[in-house]
Structure 1
Amino acid sequence: MARSALLNVMVNAAIKAGRSLSKDFNEVENLQVSRKGPADFVSKADLRAEQIVFDELRKARPTFAFLMEEGGEVSGTDGQHTWIIDPLDGTTNFLHGIPLFAVAIALQRGEDIVASVVFNPIMDELFTAEKGGGAWLADRKRLRVADRRHLSDAVICTGIKTQGTANDTLQLRQLAEINPAVAGIRRSGSICLDMAWLAAGRFDGVWEAGLKPWDVAPGQLLVKEAGGVVTDFAGAQGSVWNGQIVAGNETLQSQLLKALRPIQ
């Protein structure tokens, strides 16, 4: 796979931030003695990673705008391009020493997501996609969503915090409907990796609500470029702004959506 100049910039930023997170991750176990300590430490790790990504991308494309989980919006003079960044997707995993977290970056041009990177530094897995150019693992393996055709054979991933919010209680009702219909339910703790693994054929479907643009944008393009379908709960083409995703190959996504739609 030949990367564009823009994707190269994104990959380099993600890898550099990932190296910083890897160093911090190795220190987390020593911080478990203090409740305040680990939380504060992870916040600093998150901010360090975000600053690295910001600096790398701003240096390469100084006119582009930014939308970041920690730093919020930073305007640009370009008017067409926005970097969407989650410097540490999977913070709770990180805090508990679970090696499932990622640096995630997407580039929005106008209304379209045109490039994305999801990098898990601990597993050293780099997922990339460009609009019209396919989705890839480590530039060598072209990704395709799995071709299973029945929910009863499918492993489906979701994210449920069960803390009493409207989205959490909705997803518990959805879970009660989906769980008996599928081969298995998974909850990894990193939506960006969930979508990357869906694109790689490891998961067969993903659904979740209450998401932010930086949760949705990187993985959405990976899934679409791997031949998958992404919509919201109403079946409309998935927007990074409405916080809902139902994703899978065309057949399973349709079945999953049909099961979820009546649940309010």
Structure 2
Amino acid sequence: MNPTVNIAIRAARAAGKVLLRYYDRLDQVKVQTKSRNDFVSEVDRSAEQVIIQELRARFPSHAILAEESGAQGEGDYQWVIDPLDGTANYLHGFPQFSVSIALRVRGQLECAVVYDPLREELYTAARGEGAQLNDRRLRVAGRPSLDGALIGTGFPFRDQRHIDAYLGMFKDMTLSTAGLRRPGSAALDLAYVAAGRTDGFWELGLSPWDFAAGALLITEAGGTVTDLSGGTRYFDTCNLVAGNLKVHQAMLELIGPHLSDALRA
């Protein structure tokens, strides 16, 4: 396996141990509110510290962009880290959360790890080397249209400026597919697209650490990831659509009529 991916796996597994250690005593976990519907706990911070320690031990000069501690350092190499994707789920004991770690080199995604510690599922990818779930090679589902498709999404729970546009997309997507799912961890949602468990995914108002690893998993599994207009600026817009080529295109056609100038930007 790619040696950089191996380091990221080690960091993700270490963070997963932190998450599981606290999971049986959530009533004792200290929680703070960052903003409306956005929480951080001592678990997030502890898991993030473990990840950064692991990465710094091997790559001391690399920059880091982490959900809780923000941007650290500058340079061509940047690790994008979400130590606990699905914090609200975790704090309620809802069993859908993950660790997400990705490496960008000069702005290009190079390696990715999404780890589900409850299920012991480890999703990994390296650019040009494909994507895997544990030891199994991943491919996106081959569904040719939205007919019968299962689509993942995420509700705009923090920034609700575009809630009407999102609800329009949600209605059209519901009427055109077999169903929508909102499990609550974008990193895992994207990993599920890569694994063919869902046929597509879209969400507005994400952060880079939510989708960086998942985006590489999907492209290395043969899928497509774009912004809402079908362009490549999803790291700038933080709005994202993903799926195989045909499903992705069909999703864009449903989303397009609901896009305001702000969402196209």
TM-score normalised by structure 1 residue count: 0.92
Decide whether aligned partners of structure 1 residues 52 and 170 sit closer, same or farther in structure 2, where only a CA change above 3 A counts. same
**Structure 1 residues 18-57: aligned runs within 5 Å:** 18-28=16-26, 30-31=27-28, 39-40=31-32, 43-57=41-55
What CA deviation, in whole Å up to 9, does each residue of 1:177-216 have, x standing for no partner?
Answer: 1111100000010000000000000010000110111112
Q: Which amino acid aligns with 1:85?
A: I
Cα offset for 1:170? 2.3
1:235 paired with 2:230, answer yes
Query: SS at 2:242's partner residue?
Result: strand
Q: What is the match of residue 11 of structure 1? A: 9
Decide whether aligned partners of structure 1 residues 164 and 85 sit closer, same or farther in structure 2, where only a CA change above 3 A counts. closer
Aligned residues: 253
Query: Matches of 1:241 and 1:57 in 2, distance apart?
Result: 25
Q: What is the match of residue 215 of structure 2? A: 220
**Structure 1 residues 128-167: aligned runs within 5 Å:** 128-138=124-134, 140-161=135-156, 165-167=160-162
The unaligned stretches of length 5 or more in structure 2 are 33-38, 260-265
Query: Matches of 2:157 and 2:98 in 1, distance apart?
Result: 23
Query: SS at 1:169's partner residue?
Result: helix
Query: Matches of 1:9 and 1:164 in 2, distance apart?
Result: 34
Contact between 1:14 and 1:103, CA under 8 Å: does it hold in 2? yes
TM-score normalised by structure 2 residue count: 0.92
What CA deviation, in whole Å up to 9, does each residue of 1:154-177 have, x standing for no partner?
Answer: 000111145771133321121011
Q: What is the match of residue 111 of structure 1? A: 107
Q: What is the match of residue 122 of structure 2? A: 126
Contact between 1:87 and 1:104, CA under 8 Å: does it hold in 2? yes
The unaligned stretches of length 5 or more in structure 1 are 32-36
Query: Matches of 1:194 and 1:162 in 2, distance apart?
Result: 16
Query: Matches of 2:65 and 2:158 in 1, distance apart?
Result: 27
- From 180, 187, 197, the counterpart of 1:185: 180
Query: Matches of 1:237 and 1:225 in 2, distance apart?
Result: 16
Q: Which amino acid aligns with 1:147?
A: G
Cα offset for 1:239? 3.0
Contact between 1:25 and 1:94, CA under 8 Å: does it hold in 2? yes
What CA deviation, in whole Å up to 9, does each residue of 1:87-143 have, x standing for no partner?
Answer: 0000011011111101100000002010000001111100000000000011x1000
Contact between 1:162 and 1:169, CA under 8 Å: does it hold in 2? no
Return structure 1 stretches of 4+ with deviation > 6 angstroms: none
Query: SS at 1:173's partner residue?
Result: helix
Query: Matches of 1:203 and 1:83 in 2, distance apart?
Result: 27
Say what the alpha-carbon RMSD is for the aligned residues.
1.6
Say which structure is richer in strand: 2
Contact between 2:156 and 2:205, CA under 8 Å: does it hold in 1? no
Query: Matches of 2:159 and 2:214 in 1, distance apart?
Result: 26
Decide whether aligned partners of structure 1 residues 191 and 52 sit closer, same or farther in structure 2, where only a CA change above 3 A counts. same
Query: Matches of 1:18 and 1:42 in 2, distance apart?
Result: 16
Contact between 1:17 and 1:103, CA under 8 Å: does it hold in 2? yes
Cα offset for 1:25? 1.1
Query: SS at 1:260's partner residue?
Result: helix
Query: SS at 1:153's partner residue?
Result: coil
Cα offset for 1:57? 0.2
Cα offset for 1:240? 2.1
Decide whether aligned partners of structure 1 residues 164 and 141 sit closer, same or farther in structure 2, where only a CA change above 3 A counts. closer
Cα offset for 1:244? 1.0
Query: SS at 1:46's partner residue?
Result: helix
Contact between 2:190 and 2:215, CA under 8 Å: does it hold in 1? yes
Query: SS at 1:151's partner residue?
Result: coil
